[in-house]
Amino acid sequence: MTASRSILKAVLSAAQAEGRGARVRRSIGRPELRNHDPFLMLDEFDVDKNGGFPDHPHRGFETVTYMLEGQFQHEDFAGHKGTIGPGDLQWMTAGRGIVHSEMPVKSQTRAHGLQLWINLPKEHKMCEPQYQELLDNEIPRATPVEGVVIKVIAGESHGIVSKVYTRTPTMYLDFKVAKNKSVVQSIPASYTGFIYMLKGTAYIGDNEFVGKAHHTLTFSEDGAETVKISTKDEDAHFVLIAGQPLNEPIVQHGPFVMNSQDEIYHTFEDYRGGKNGFERAKNWKSSIA
Ligand code: FJE
Ligand code: FE
């Protein structure tokens, strides 16, 4: 019998200002949770109809936007446009370069969701940009026991496999667990991982570490291949995110994440000069910001 991963730390994310009039609860990426290779950032965002994330670039990683409530629009410099609503997913590989705008639909009062930044391995940092977009009803569910519904956004759970292609091996699961349930999730031994609590209370590991809303709970890196999660007198909603660490140098300058200072310098040159993937950045302005 293998033991469950345990929880190393629990960190509360308070809301902070970000973008234009937006509020985020930063999980991974905050000072206490800086190096969680392969993950760079996780924000629980809350944007009202006048806020958002107007025109900005990315290079060298992936942004994964998962909507919880409301409608979010996006538009990029290549003319790629769309709207995602509750339960929908946009898995964007920025690769060598994307410039885009991410804004709530104006008629909505609130857009609430999660945005995860996953680092790319050296050999994929300059790949062609790619979008993988899935509507809520296209994301498969595992229901290992009554009262436990697991949306398999990436990776696998209880025999249900996501069709999302991950250049950095990643598991991304959305758990809705009714009260007084228990579930065991397999995790590859080499993955790092964490739970971000959205609602309610969950008890994690053999010694039932208590996890509450807006807390990030980081997993022990002891090679255990499961994590045990239970609920008691309250339902719980959380995401479980895990991935293969890249163990490569990280040099981040805002929305550019490369392996060396020299590559960051060249990225600034490319962005400013409209080169090497940023050709369409010149004079581009989104129509939604
Ligand atoms: C940003 C660079 C960025 N959290 N949560 C610098 F890319 C961003 C940014 C976001 C973001 C976007 C969404 Cl949709 C959700 C996010 C950061 O776009 F805010 C800064 N300062
Ligand atoms: Fe962005």
Q: What is the pLDDT along the chain (289 residues), one digit of tens a residue?
A: 469 999 999 999 999 999 999 999 999 999 999 989 999 999 999 999 889 999 999 999 999 999 999 999 999 999 999 999 999 999 999 999 999 999 999 877 789 999 999 999 999 999 999 999 999 999 999 999 999 999 999 999 999 999 999 999 999 999 999 999 999 999 999 999 999 999 999 999 999 999 999 999 999 999 999 999 999 999 999 999 999 999 999 999 999 999 999 999 999 999 999 999 999 999 999 999 8
State in Å: Cα 11 to ligand 2 middle.
Answer: 25
Give the DSSP letter string of 177-209.
Answer: E-TT-EEEEE--TT-EEEEEEEEEEEEETTTTE
**Which tokens sit at 279?**
């050709």
Residue 102 alpha carbon, nearest atom of ligand 1? 14
Residue list for the binding site: 56, 58, 100, 102
Closest Cα to atom 12, ligand 1: which residue?
53
46 has which bridge partners?
Answer: 23, 112
Is 201's C-beta closer than 6 angstroms to any atom of ligand 1?
no
Is 24's C-beta closer than 6 angstroms to any atom of ligand 1?
yes
Is 63's C-beta closer than 6 angstroms to any atom of ligand 1?
no
pLDDT computed for residue 119 by the predictor: 98
Q: Which of 13, 20, 28, 53 to mutate to test the pocket of ligand 1 (most atoms within 8 A of CB)?
A: 53
SS3 (DSSP) at 92: strand
**Which tokens sit at 35?**
């190096």
Q: Quick one: which ligand is closest to 28's CA? A: 1
Buried b / exposed e over 23-40, threshold 16 CB at 10 Å, is bbbbbbbbeebeebebbb
pLDDT computed for residue 1 by the predictor: 46
Is 102's C-beta closer than 6 angstroms to any atom of ligand 1?
yes
Is 73's C-beta closer than 6 angstroms to any atom of ligand 1?
no
**Which tokens sit at 150?**
């697991």
Closest Cα to atom 3, ligand 1: which residue?
255
Name residue 182's amino acid. Answer: S
pLDDT computed for residue 268 by the predictor: 98
Q: Quick one: which ligand is closest to 99's CA? A: 2
Where does the chain have alpha helices with state H? Answer: 261-273
Query: Distance between alpha carbon 100 and the CA centroid of its chain, in Å?
Result: 17
